[in-house]
Chain A
Amino acid sequence: MNKRSHSIAFWAGVAVFLVAVLSMTQIVRNEYPFFAGYVILQFIALAVAWTILGGYAGYVNFGTNAFFGVGVYTAVALFKATGAPLVVQIAAAAVVGMLLGFGVGLLTLRMRGIFFSIATIALAIIIETFVMNWRFVGGAAGIQLQRPPVMAPFDSYVKMLFFVQAILVVIAVGIARYIQNSRMGRGLQALRDDELAAECTGVPTLKLKLVACMISGALMSAVGAPAAMYLQYADPSSAFNLTYSVSALAMSLIGGTAHWIGPVLGAILLGSTQQFLAVTISSEVNVLVLGIMLVLFVVGAPKGIIGLLRPRYRLRAGGKQ
Chain B
Amino acid sequence: MFSMDLLLGAVVLGVLLGCFYAAVSVGLSVSFGLLDVPHVAHPAFLVLASYGVYQLNDSYDLDPLLAGLAITPLLFLFGLLAYRVYYETFEKRGSDAGVRGIAFFFGIAFIIEVLIILQFGVDQRSVTANYIGKSWRFGEFRVPIRQLVAFAVALALTVVLAVYLSKTFMGRAIRAVAQDEEALRLMGANPVRIKQFAFGIATAVLGIAGALLIIVAPVEPTLDRAYIGRTFCVVVMAGLGSISGTLIAAIILGVAESIVLTMFGASWAPAISFAMLLGVLAVRPQGLLGR
| A125:B89 contact, CB within 8 angstroms | no
Contacts of A140 in B (CB 8 A): 267
Query: Is B170 an interface residue, CB under 8 A from the partner?
Result: no
Contacts of A81 in B (CB 8 A): none
| A122:B104 contact, CB within 8 angstroms | no
| B98:A118 contact, CB within 8 angstroms | no
- How many chain A residues touch the partner (CB < 8 A)? 44
Interface size bucket, B side? 35 or more
| A288:B278 contact, CB within 8 angstroms | no
A284 is contacted by which of B106, B118, B232 (Cβ under 8 Å)? Answer: B118
| B111:A118 contact, CB within 8 angstroms | no
| A294:B114 contact, CB within 8 angstroms | no
Contacts of B271 in A (CB 8 A): 125-126, 129-130
- Give Cα distance in the complex from A126 to B89, angstroms: 34
| B107:A114 contact, CB within 8 angstroms | no
Chain A, range 176-213, C-beta contacts under 8 Å to B: 193
Can you name the residue of chain A whose Cβ is closest to the Cβ of B100?
A298
Interface of B is mostly: helix
Closest Cβ of chain A to B276, distance in Å, is 9
| B278:A58 contact, CB within 8 angstroms | no
Query: Is B223 an interface residue, CB under 8 A from the partner?
Result: no
Contacts of A126 in B (CB 8 A): 271, 274-275, 278
Interface of A is mostly: helix
| A299:B277 contact, CB within 8 angstroms | no
Chain B, range 1-58, C-beta contacts under 8 Å to A: 32, 38, 40
Instruction: Give per-residue flags for B110-143: 1 if the beta carbon is below 8 A from chain A beta carbons, else 0.
Output: 1101110110000000000000000000000000
Query: Is A86 an interface residue, CB under 8 A from the partner?
Result: no
Query: Is B184 an interface residue, CB under 8 A from the partner?
Result: no
Can you name the residue of chain A whose Cβ is closest to the Cβ of B108?
A295
Contacts of A54 in B (CB 8 A): 99
| B103:A294 contact, CB within 8 angstroms | yes
Known contacts: A58-B96, A130-B271, A298-B100. The answer to whether A242 contacts B225 by CB under 8 A is: yes
| A115:B236 contact, CB within 8 angstroms | yes
| B106:A246 contact, CB within 8 angstroms | yes
- Give Cα distance in the complex from A108 to B281, angstroms: 7
Instruction: Give per-residue flags for A2-40: 1 if the beta carbon is below 8 A from chain B beta carbons, else 0.
Output: 000000000000000000000000000000000000000
| A302:B281 contact, CB within 8 angstroms | no
- Give Cα distance in the complex from A154 to B104, angstroms: 43
| B274:A291 contact, CB within 8 angstroms | no
| A119:B114 contact, CB within 8 angstroms | no
- Give Cα distance in the complex from A136 to B99, angstroms: 39
Closest Cβ of chain B to A86, distance in Å, is 31
Can you name the residue of chain B whose Cβ is closest to the Cβ of A57?
B99
Query: Is A287 an interface residue, CB under 8 A from the partner?
Result: yes
| A118:B228 contact, CB within 8 angstroms | yes
- Give Cα distance in the complex from A59 to B100, angstroms: 10
Contacts of B118 in A (CB 8 A): 284-285, 288
| A107:B103 contact, CB within 8 angstroms | no
Instruction: Give per-residue flags for A109-121: 1 if the beta carbon is below 8 A from chain B beta carbons, else 0.
Output: 0011111011101
Chain A, range 139-190, C-beta contacts under 8 Å to B: 140
| B115:A119 contact, CB within 8 angstroms | no
Query: Is A292 an interface residue, CB under 8 A from the partner?
Result: yes
Known contacts: A284-B117, A288-B115. The answer to whether A295 contacts B107 by CB under 8 A is: yes
B228 is contacted by which of A121, A249, A285, A287 (Cβ under 8 Å)? Answer: A121
| B110:A122 contact, CB within 8 angstroms | no
Closest Cβ of chain B to A299, distance in Å, is 5
Known contacts: A58-B98, A60-B103. The answer to whether A115 contacts B267 by CB under 8 A is: no
Q: Which of A113, A122, A285, A287 has the most CB of B within 10 A?
A: A122
Query: Is B66 an interface residue, CB under 8 A from the partner?
Result: no
| A119:B268 contact, CB within 8 angstroms | no
| A119:B281 contact, CB within 8 angstroms | yes
Chain B, range 62-91, C-beta contacts under 8 Å to A: 85, 89
Instruction: Give per-residue flags for A291-312: 1 if the beta carbon is below 8 A from chain B beta carbons, else 0.
Output: 1101100110010000000000
Contacts of A121 in B (CB 8 A): 228-229, 274
| A114:B281 contact, CB within 8 angstroms | no
- Give Cα distance in the complex from A302 to B94, angstroms: 12
Closest Cβ of chain B to A315, distance in Å, is 12
Query: Is B168 an interface residue, CB under 8 A from the partner?
Result: no
Query: Is A72 an interface residue, CB under 8 A from the partner?
Result: no
Q: Which of B106, B225, B226 has the most CB of A within 10 A?
A: B106
Query: Is A133 an interface residue, CB under 8 A from the partner?
Result: yes
Can you name the residue of chain B whose Cβ is closest to the Cβ of A299?
B89
Query: Is B171 an interface residue, CB under 8 A from the partner?
Result: no
- Give Cα distance in the complex from A71 to B104, angstroms: 28
Contacts of B107 in A (CB 8 A): 246, 250, 291-292, 294-295, 298
**Assuming A113-B102, A287-B110, what are 11 further A-B pairs, CB within 8 angstroms?**
A114-B38, A117-B38, A125-B270, A129-B270, A242-B225, A287-B113, A294-B103, A298-B103, A298-B104, A298-B107, A299-B104
Seen from chain A, the residues whose Cβ lies within 8 Å of a Cβ on chain B are 54, 58-60, 62, 107-108, 111-115, 117-119, 121-123, 125-126, 128-130, 132-133, 140, 193, 242, 246, 249-250, 253, 284-285, 287-288, 290-292, 294-295, 298-299, 302
Can you list 8 pairs linking A and B with CB atoms under 8 Å apart? A111-B281, A114-B38, A119-B277, A125-B229, A130-B271, A249-B106, A284-B114, A285-B118
- Nearest 3 A-B pairs (CB), nearest first? A122-B274, A129-B271, A294-B107
